């Protein structure tokens, strides 16, 4: 408040001095703020151009000019938008105006992120993001190859079950030949049934054993392809060219995984186990008398029961292998640098932060300027214009008055020379 003699209090004097100091700082900062804003807008436009270029498939003149036009539009838009906000928002005195422009600033910032920041991030970390995609794909393929190999080896373990069943029937055939099974030595009907099933199981066992080297060869080939794919992930050179070679290797690796799945013998064992009891060709009983033939018939019935039991055992073991979770279907899908940056945004937080900061840094300046303008207004509120005049302002006003008086005096002298009188009611040296 002003004291009784019209002088400013100490607090008001301090506030006025602070306001004048801040105004001086702002006047100096205004000399280079537009240039700094222009540099930021141009830098954002350059990175936007690089991001747009990575999205365009054609590298001809039309694509070049399209990318240039888009980047120029982004630069101009950023410069104009922040120039408006820097000037208008800090000058708002009403709460409604300040809130409205603040909301407009937020909407404009989102628009800038949508049209520029993600392209800036693609330019900053696009190649690294594509390499991350390649690395993740290699990891998925490696898991699929290992899983397919493990399932194929689990199928190979069925060979031991088949071998055990074959040996049991071989032992029974030897017992029948010596007369310990049906009571009649020789190679009669029972022996032929046992030999028939033994040969079937031996053939299945040989088929299973024949798959082992094929599985190992396919697994070794898959590892070789994975090694080349890992090299392409970190190799030097443009990532687009490496992606093409990576795609070719992925096709070969998909074929290897398919072969490993086909080498799984579990389906074969299931079918063989189902056929084991039902495919018996019963020979004619060749016993010399009825009692021997009855013994042979009873023994064959027991053999069929044993076949049925072995069949169920083999089938259960094979179905356990078939129940194993198959490898996930993996395929390499080429991806652009911009899409890769968005998909793996969590891995490139610094790049995203830099891409957004270069576009939204003026927002910090806006709020700094708003706070400063508020401090200036608080330092001048409640004072008359005469109380806020500085000595420089007073000198400027006095000089202006002198120039006005000189101008008016010259006008009066000119009228006197022409013999004109001053208008009534106007003293010499005065002018309307």
Residue 117 domain flag: no
If asked whether residues 183 and 306 sit together in one domain, one would say yes
Residue 96 domain flag: no
If asked whether residues 45 and 189 sit together in one domain, one would say no
Would you place residue 176 in the very low, low, confident or very high pLDDT band (cuts 50, 70, 90)?
low
If asked whether residues 233 and 275 sit together in one domain, one would say yes
Backbone CA torsion sign across 208, 211, 216, 219: negative
Structure tokens at 116: 């520029």
Contact 75, 42 (CB under 8 A): yes
What is the number of other CB atoms lying within 10 angstroms of the CB of residue 221? Answer: 17
Q: Which has more confidence, 122 or 378?
A: 122
In angstroms, rounded to a whole number, what is the distance separating the alpha carbons of residues 142 and 154? 18
If asked whether residues 164 and 285 sit together in one domain, one would say yes
pLDDT in tens, 200-258: 788 888 888 888 899 999 999 999 999 999 998 888 878 888 888 998 999 999 999 99
Residue 108 domain flag: no
Enclosing domain of residue 69: 10-91+348-380
Q: What is the pLDDT of residue 1?
A: 46
Counted domains in the chain: 3
If asked whether residues 411 and 368 sit together in one domain, one would say no
Query: Above pLDDT 70, what percent of the chain?
Result: 73
Q: What is the pLDDT of residue 226?
A: 92
pLDDT in tens, 317-344: 888 888 888 888 888 888 888 788 888 8
Q: Which has more confidence, 315 or 295?
A: 315
Would you place residue 16 in the very low, low, confident or very high pLDDT band (cuts 50, 70, 90)?
low
The partner residues of 2 in beta bridges, in order of sequence, read 8
Phi, psi angle pair for 204, to nearest 5° = -65, -40
Backbone CA torsion sign across 293, 295, 296, 300: positive
Residue 100 domain flag: no
If asked whether residues 232 and 278 sit together in one domain, one would say yes
If asked whether residues 15 and 67 sit together in one domain, one would say yes
pLDDT in tens, 289-314: 566 556 656 666 666 667 777 778 88
If asked whether residues 168 and 295 sit together in one domain, one would say yes
In angstroms, rounded to a whole number, what is the distance separating the alpha carbons of residues 364 and 361? 6
Residue 99 domain flag: no
pLDDT in tens, 129-157: 888 899 999 999 999 999 999 999 888 88
If asked whether residues 361 and 432 sit together in one domain, one would say no
Residue 328 domain flag: yes
Residue 119 domain flag: no
If asked whether residues 321 and 418 sit together in one domain, one would say no
pLDDT in tens, 35-91: 988 998 999 889 888 888 877 766 677 878 888 898 999 999 999 999 988 888 888
If asked whether residues 415 and 374 sit together in one domain, one would say no
Q: What is the pLDDT of residue 266?
A: 86
Average pLDDT over residues 4-13: 55
Residue 106 domain flag: no
Residues 6+ apart with CB under 8 A from 382: 1, 12
pLDDT in tens, 35-48: 988 998 999 889 88
Return the CATH number at 190. Answer: 1.20.1260
If asked whether residues 65 and 169 sit together in one domain, one would say no
């Amino acid at each position: 408040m002003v004291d009784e003699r019209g002088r400013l209090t100490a607090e008001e004097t301090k506030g006025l001095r602070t306001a004048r100091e801040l105004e001086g700082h702002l006047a100096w900062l205004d000399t280079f703020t537009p240039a700094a804003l222009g540099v930021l807008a141009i830098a954002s436009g350059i990175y936007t151009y690089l991001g747009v270029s990575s999205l365009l498939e054609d590298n001809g003149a039309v694509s070049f000019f399209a990318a240039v036009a888009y980047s120029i539009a982004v630069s101009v838009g950023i410069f104009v938008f922040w120039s408006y906000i820097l000037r208008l928002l800090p000058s708002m005195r009403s709460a409604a105006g300040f809130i409205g422009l603040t909301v407009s600033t937020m909407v404009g910032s989102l628009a800038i992120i949508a049209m520029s920041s993600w392209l800036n991030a693609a330019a900053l970390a696009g190649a690294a993001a594509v390499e991350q995609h390649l690395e993740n794909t290699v990891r998925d393929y490696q898991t699929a190859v290992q899983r397919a190999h493990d399932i194929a080896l689990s199928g190979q373990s069925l060979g031991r079950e088949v071998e055990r069943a074959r040996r049991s029937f071989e032992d029974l055939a030897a017992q029948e030949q010596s007369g310990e099974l049906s009571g009649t030595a020789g190679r009669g009907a029972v022996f032929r049934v046992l030999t028939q099933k033994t040969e079937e199981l031996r053939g299945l066992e040989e088929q299973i054993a024949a798959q082992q080297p094929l599985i190992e060869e396919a697994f070794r080939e898959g590892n070789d392809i994975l090694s080349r794919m890992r090299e392409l992930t970190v190799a030097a050179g443009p990532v687009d060219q490496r992606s093409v070679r990576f795609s070719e290797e992925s096709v070969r690796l998909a074929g290897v995984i398919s072969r490993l799945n086909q080498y799984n013998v579990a389906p074969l064992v299931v079918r063989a186990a189902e056929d084991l009891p039902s495919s018996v060709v019963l020979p004619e009983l060749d016993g010399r008398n009825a009692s021997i033939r009855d013994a042979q018939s009873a023994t064959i019935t027991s053999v069929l029961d044993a076949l049925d039991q072995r069949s169920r055992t083999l089938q259960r073991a094979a179905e356990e292998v078939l129940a194993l979770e198959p490898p996930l279907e993996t395929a390499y899908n080429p991806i652009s640098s911009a899409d890769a940056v968005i998909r793996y945004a969590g891995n490139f937080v610094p790049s995203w932060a830099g891409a957004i900061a270069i576009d939204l840094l003026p927002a910090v300046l806006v709020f700094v300027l708003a706070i400063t303008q508020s401090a200036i207004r608080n330092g001048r509120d409640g004072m008359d214009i005469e109380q806020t005049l500085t000595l420089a302002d007073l000198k400027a006003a006095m000089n202006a008055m002198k120039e006005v008086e000189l101008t008016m005096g010259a006008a009066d002298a000119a009228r006197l020379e022409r013999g004109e009188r001053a208008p009534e009611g106007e003293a010499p040296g005065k002018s309307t």
